[in-house]
A and B are shown apart, each in its own frame.
Chain A
């Protein structure tokens, strides 16, 4: 299903396909008409995707077919062995984690997982973890430290789950602990924002020495809809809230919150997932390489400096 602003493009593409089929079936020459439409398509794509609003990027970040954590694990990494459970209460399917190999090297990976189908989405709670998910992630950080493997997190969540059971089992506490635990890693830590970076539920696994973001992903203190509901008292103002929140990859790079933007193929990663994942592999390799040379103490200092500088204040 196409996003609303993709529809004119989809329609034009369908039209061109039809004309081609018709020309072939009937043996008539429609190449002029087709060329005309192809030029129009090119212009339309350029126009649409070079002027995306922040709200359109939020929609791209949520587009069905966009690479998820498991897609990354299957395509960017190899030898993925999933590890389950928090050793206390349950296994949370909203976070997947385990051992894998990246360019021949053992690494530990944890990431939010949305469903690739509606049924799977319900099973995975739309990528909104309970405390158990964060406890599982912290277990992975322990594992990375124990074996000296790099820790790589993949972020794609609307937020940590706001529910009774989550509150009862200490949602706020585990998020705080996970931030603290990741800050204490003595190994290289990379965080990649794949799609949605929804607030504390994203940051809990976002304390990397370097933070990467896909071109059409977003990262914010609150989702545009919730922000609109509170500040504008109207969730329908989400587009306006998205503009105000400055939550796109480019905004975040300017604010110093992310270190690298991973380019996506035109039209978004959901249209050409393999091309997007190839770019992601190159970006991870480039960011990981220099970190591998740092000592545990240097990595700790580097991470503290990175986050200590965050924010904008006026000094008197």
Chain B
């Protein structure tokens, strides 16, 4: 059921043409916010605290120690193993997303330190095909976990994904097994894996590596689950309860360790990594 759930996600841009590019409308409280202010506030609405989606570059910048980041992703390029075509050939879609994002696929990251702890950070890009996981994304994740294990780094992922990518069919499904099993390289070396879930994380990404962090953190109000709300609604033919599948709901049901506001995320991550990573654990760093 790993769907590319591209249904009616809230837009981050103010809808009307009369709204200048410099201003954004908060999808939650509808306040008009100066774009620069929003970016300076890590894309969190200053009026209501709603967490908007942020670019993967900004995400990396907000989490890593300044000047420590070296990109490792990008050399793995997606292929079209099934010559898939629906209303548009998959190869065309890929080209379109590559042009739009400047990335070869829906993942970006590299080596860095986080509060001095050596880490490998991978961030999923929702802007690229809904952050869906095909062979290339799975390969980057598996390589990331393997490289972290080989170099004694903590492994950190930031998930934002509609799930496994339909256009690579069963090969996307297999990425769930591949990424999950690659995590065991970290287990063998007692290196920590921290999984951060952001809006939205569903389908085959939730149901594989993202659910297996030693510590799982989520941003407030993020949609997180296995099946998407629309699929569930169709199945059970009734409305879903308020707040269903949001971070707070999942915390209540025991699926997450903490819900952490974006402004506090780096500090919490540093704290967790320094407690878990052998360097921090031994030195009291």
Q: A177-B212, A247-B169 are in contact. Are A311 and B175 (CB under 8 A)?
A: yes
Question: Does B142 lie within 8 Å of A308, measured CB to CB?
Answer: yes
Question: Does A176 lie within 8 Å of B171, measured CB to CB?
Answer: no
Question: Does B181 lie within 8 Å of A221, measured CB to CB?
Answer: no
| A286: min CB distance to chain B, Å | 23
Find A312's partner among B135, B206, B207, B245 (CB 8 Å cutoff): B135
B211 at the interface (CB under 8 A from A): yes
- The size bracket of the interface on A is 35 or more
Find B204's partner among A173, A199, A252, A316 (CB 8 Å cutoff): A199
Alpha-carbon distance A200/B241, docked complex (angstroms) = 25
Instruction: Provide the residues of chain B in CB contact with A168, threshold 8 Å.
Output: 253
| A304: min CB distance to chain B, Å | 5
Find A221's partner among B173, B241, B245 (CB 8 Å cutoff): B173
Find A200's partner among B2, B76, B134 (CB 8 Å cutoff): B2
Binds A, one of B23-31, B40-48, B225-233: B225-233
Question: Does A176 lie within 8 Å of B211, measured CB to CB?
Answer: yes
Instruction: Provide the residues of chain B in CB contact with A222, threshold 8 Å.
Output: 1-3, 166, 169
Question: Does A173 lie within 8 Å of B211, measured CB to CB?
Answer: yes
A314 at the interface (CB under 8 A from B): yes
Question: Does B226 lie within 8 Å of A160, measured CB to CB?
Answer: yes
A255 at the interface (CB under 8 A from B): yes
Binds B, one of A6-14, A179-187, A270-278: A179-187
Question: Does A162 lie within 8 Å of B75, measured CB to CB?
Answer: no
Binds B, one of A15-23, A42-50, A67-75, A225-233: A225-233
| B166: min CB distance to chain A, Å | 6
Question: Does B255 lie within 8 Å of A221, measured CB to CB?
Answer: no
Q: A184-B184, A313-B139 are in contact. Are A230 and B211 (CB under 8 A)?
A: no
B1-37 contacts to A, CB under 8 A, are: 1-6
| A206: min CB distance to chain B, Å | 8
| A36: min CB distance to chain B, Å | 43
B265 at the interface (CB under 8 A from A): no
Question: Does A180 lie within 8 Å of B180, measured CB to CB?
Answer: yes
Question: Does B76 lie within 8 Å of A315, measured CB to CB?
Answer: yes
B211-263 contacts to A, CB under 8 A, are: 211-212, 225-227, 231-232, 235-236, 240-241, 244-245, 253-255
| A106: min CB distance to chain B, Å | 27
Binds A, one of B79-87, B148-156, B266-274: B79-87
Instruction: Provide the residues of chain A in CB contact with B236, threshold 8 Å.
Output: 163-164
Question: Does A313 lie within 8 Å of B78, measured CB to CB?
Answer: yes
Find B232's partner among A164, A177, A184 (CB 8 Å cutoff): A164
Question: Does A314 lie within 8 Å of B78, measured CB to CB?
Answer: yes
Alpha-carbon distance A162/B86, docked complex (angstroms) = 25
Alpha-carbon distance A251/B144, docked complex (angstroms) = 29
Instruction: Provide the residues of chain A in CB contact with B184, threshold 8 Å.
Output: 180, 183-184, 304
Find B79's partner among A160, A200, A255, A312 (CB 8 Å cutoff): A312
Find B209's partner among A176, A198, A313 (CB 8 Å cutoff): A176
Instruction: Provide the residues of chain B in CB contact with A183, threshold 8 Å.
Output: 177, 180-181, 184
Instruction: Provide the residues of chain A in CB contact with B81, threshold 8 Å.
Output: 255, 312
Find B166's partner among A227, A255, A303 (CB 8 Å cutoff): A227
Question: Does B245 lie within 8 Å of A315, measured CB to CB?
Answer: no
Question: Does A163 lie within 8 Å of B255, measured CB to CB?
Answer: no
Alpha-carbon distance A226/B84, docked complex (angstroms) = 16
Instruction: Provide the residues of chain A in CB contact with B1, threshold 8 Å.
Output: 159-160, 162, 198-201, 222, 226
Question: Does B173 lie within 8 Å of A307, measured CB to CB?
Answer: no
Alpha-carbon distance A97/B1, docked complex (angstroms) = 23
Question: Does A231 lie within 8 Å of B87, measured CB to CB?
Answer: yes
Alpha-carbon distance A206/B209, docked complex (angstroms) = 16
Question: Does B183 lie within 8 Å of A180, measured CB to CB?
Answer: yes
B68-115 contacts to A, CB under 8 A, are: 75-79, 81-82, 84-87, 104
CB-nearest residue of chain A relative to B181?
A: A183
Question: Does A310 lie within 8 Å of B79, measured CB to CB?
Answer: no
A160-202 contacts to B, CB under 8 A, are: 160-164, 166-173, 175-177, 179-180, 183-184, 198-201
Question: Does B3 lie within 8 Å of A172, measured CB to CB?
Answer: no
Question: Does A162 lie within 8 Å of B176, measured CB to CB?
Answer: no
Question: Does B177 lie within 8 Å of A231, measured CB to CB?
Answer: no
Question: Does A257 lie within 8 Å of B171, measured CB to CB?
Answer: yes
Instruction: Provide the residues of chain A in CB contact with B166, threshold 8 Å.
Output: 221-222, 227, 230-231, 245
Find A162's partner among B168, B178, B226 (CB 8 Å cutoff): B226
Instruction: Provide the residues of chain A in CB contact with B210, threshold 8 Å.
Output: 176
Question: Does B226 lie within 8 Å of A200, measured CB to CB?
Answer: yes
| A91: min CB distance to chain B, Å | 21
CB-nearest residue of chain A relative to B77?
A: A314
B281 at the interface (CB under 8 A from A): no
Interface residue ranges, B against A (CB under 8 Å): 1-6, 75-79, 81-82, 84-87, 104, 134-136, 138-139, 142, 164-166, 168-178, 180-184, 202-204, 206-212, 225-227, 231-232, 235-236, 240-241, 244-245, 253-255
Q: Can you name 14 A-B pairs with beta carbons within 8 Å? A: A163-B235, A166-B226, A167-B245, A183-B184, A203-B176, A221-B2, A230-B6, A304-B181, A308-B178, A311-B138, A311-B171, A312-B171, A315-B77, A316-B77
The 9 closest A-B pairs by CB, nearest first: A311-B135, A162-B227, A312-B81, A310-B174, A172-B206, A231-B86, A172-B226, A176-B211, A175-B207
